[in-house]
């Protein structure tokens, strides 16, 4: 029954747009996603310029062929920013991977960011950045086959141990800094989302950076949904106040992470008695208006205190760079002591349990 209105409407009509029109402009006849020099389909990713040069394969190539159908899902291990992450196993080889599934978005700025991340992953050759072995596109969905870090993230670690001692922190910092040197100096990329849950650990004690800046953009776009909790905790003051920012904003975030791991709580929570997090705007005001937090000198070494303060300077020009920080006395102090982070994380509960 037609709904009643005061006066009859003239016949209004709509042309119903085809469901796939927007993305089909980026698809070839066989269903390959094509943007600029990037080609992506069920078989994997190809860069046209790379193809012409017929470059020999690099060291991270797996020794066997790879198809998306060969992966079986074991468990969802995260609904992080940017998409769902699943623990998967290669059916024939038995090897574990993390599969990150992203809905393709053809909004121009989002699409460009996705393509950029795919290219970065394709070229990534740093032992302290999570390896992306393959990318696929199928039916509107991008799948990234990532290195599986079996001890989860730094967030999982500090949930159990609460604080990390300085020697182990130095080992963590050195590896993260090496990853940042690669991102900043070789790839010319700002990560934008350095936080404990994006610093992954494996049983060998290796620490690797994951989730490049595009993921934050993706989270913004997919459903355009976010929560205040956690969004701004590690964001540098200049980003929060809307100023321009550069690589040094990642350094601020790293400093916050390191301080949190050392004192066992998020630095802007005033004391261990305070149960709840500061409200959103209290946090913003604290970050932008108050002096930066610092490590208590009666509990930590002078080297650690100056390392933290070298990262957490309100004025980005006063922060050290990732390369400079690698030479900091705090890092140098423990370099020859042969510390094994694997011993620390090996004693903890693994974040994902599944039948083998």
Binding residues for ATP: 100
Pairwise CA distance, residues 226 & 212, whole Å: 17
Cβ–Cβ under 8 Å, residues 266 and 233: yes
Q: How far is the CB of 224 from another protein (least distance, A)?
A: 5
Cα(206)–Cα(103) distance, integer angstroms? 30
By DSSP bridging, strand 141-147 and strand 199-201 are unpaired
Please choose, from the candidates 226, 240, 228, the residue with its C-alpha nearest in 3D space to the C-alpha of residue 284: 240
Both tokens of residue 109? Answer: 């700025």
Compute how many residues bind another protein; rule: CB under 8 A.
45
- DSSP state for residue 313 in the 8-state scheme: -
Chain CA centroid to CA 108, Å: 21
194, 234 contact by CB (below 8 A): yes
Closest to another protein by CB, 83 vs 205, is: 83
Asked if 188 touches another protein (CB under 8 A), the answer is no
User: How far apart are alpha carbons 56 and 50 in whole angstroms?
Assistant: 10
Between residues 48 and 141, which has the closer beta carbon with respect to another protein?
141
Length of the chain: 356
Name, in order, each residue with C-beta under 8 angstroms of 271's C-beta and a sequence gap of 6 or more.
none
The least distance separating another protein from the CB of residue 126, rounded to whole angstroms, comes to 28
* 355 lies in the binding site for another protein (CB under 8 A): no
**Per CB under 8 A, does 141 bind another protein?**
yes
Annotated binding site: 100
Site for another protein in 97-116 (CB under 8 A): 103
Q: Is 353 in the site for another protein (CB under 8 A)?
A: no
- The C-alpha atoms of residue 151 and residue 73 are separated, in whole angstroms, by 18
| Cβ 256 to another protein shortest distance, Å | 18
Least separation in angstroms between residue 89's CB and another protein is: 15
Strands 38-41 and 44-47: antiparallel
Return the residue of 76, 123, 323, 343 that touches another protein, per CB under 8 A: 76
Catalytic residue among 35, 65, 70, 193: 193
6 counts as binding another protein under rule CB under 8 A:
yes
Whether residue 177 contacts residue 183, with contact meaning beta carbons closer than 8 Å, is answered with no
Tokens of 267: 């630095």
Q: Does the footprint of another protein cover residue 4 (CB under 8 A)?
A: yes
Q: 161 in helix, strand or coil?
A: helix
- Site map (CB under 8 A) of another protein, residues 196-225, x = contact: ---------------------x--x--xxx
Of these, 122, 231, 294, 306, which contacts another protein (CB under 8 A)?
A: 231
Catalytic-residue membership of 338? no
3-state SS, residue 345: helix
**DSSP code of 196?**
G
Interface residue with another protein among 56, 59, 94, 242 (CB under 8 A) is 242
Q: Which is nearer to another protein, 172 or 194 (CB)?
A: 194
**Counting contacts by CB under 8 A, is residue 92 touching another protein?**
yes
Burial class of residue 236 (count of CB atoms within 10 Å of its CB; 0-12, 13-18, 19+): buried
Binding track, positions 41-60, relative to another protein; x by CB under 8 A = --------------------
By CB under 8 A, what part of segment 264-283 binds another protein? 279-282
Near another protein by CB under 8 A: residue from 23, 67, 161, 339: 67
Q: Which residues are catalytic?
A: 193
Which parts of this chain interact with another protein (CB under 8 A)?
3-7, 9-10, 12-17, 19, 21-22, 31, 67, 69, 76, 79, 92, 103, 139-141, 217, 220, 223-229, 231-232, 240, 242, 279-282, 284-285
């Amino acid at each position: 029954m037609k709904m009643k209105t005061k006066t009859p409407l003239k016949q209004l009509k709509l042309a119903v747009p085809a469901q796939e029109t927007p993305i089909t402009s980026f698809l070839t006849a066989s269903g390959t996603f094509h943007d600029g020099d990037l080609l992506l389909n069920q078989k994997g990713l190809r860069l046209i310029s790379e193809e012409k040069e017929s470059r020999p394969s690099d060291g991270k190539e797996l020794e066997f062929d790879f198809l998306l159908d060969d992966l079986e899902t074991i468990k969802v291990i995260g609904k992080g920013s940017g998409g769902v992450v699943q623990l998967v196993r290669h059916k024939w080889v038995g090897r574990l991977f993390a599969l990150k599934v992203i809905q393709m978005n053809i909004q121009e700025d989002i699409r460009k960011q996705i393509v950029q991340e795919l290219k970065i992953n394709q070229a990534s050759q740093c032992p302290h950045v999570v390896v992306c072995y393959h990318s696929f596109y199928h039916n509107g969905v991008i799948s990234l086959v990532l290195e599986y870090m079996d001890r989860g993230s730094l967030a999982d670690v500090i949930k159990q141990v609460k604080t990390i001692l300085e020697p182990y922190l130095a080992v963590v910092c050195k590896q993260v800094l090496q990853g940042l040197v690669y991102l900043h100096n070789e790839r010319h990329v700002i990560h934008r989302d350095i936080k404990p849950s994006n610093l992954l650990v494996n049983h060998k004690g290796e620490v690797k950076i994951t989730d490049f800046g595009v993921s934050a953009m993706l989270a913004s776009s997919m459903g355009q949904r976010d929560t205040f909790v956690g969004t701004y905790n590690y964001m540098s003051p200049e980003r929060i106040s809307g100023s321009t920012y550069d690589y040094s904003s990642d350094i601020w975030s790293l400093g916050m992470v390191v301080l949190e791991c050392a004192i066992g709580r998020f630095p802007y929570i005033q004391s261990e008695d305070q149960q709840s997090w500061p409200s959103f705007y209290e946090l913003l005001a604290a970050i932008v208006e108050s002096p930066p937090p610092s490590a208590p000198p009666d509990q930590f070494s002078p080297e650690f205190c100056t390392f933290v303060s070298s990262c957490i300077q309100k004025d980005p020009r006063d922060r050290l760079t990732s390369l400079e920080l690698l030479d900091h006395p705090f890092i140098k102090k423990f370099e020859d002591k042969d510390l094994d982070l694997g011993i620390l994380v090996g004693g903890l509960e693994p974040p994902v349990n599944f039948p083998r």
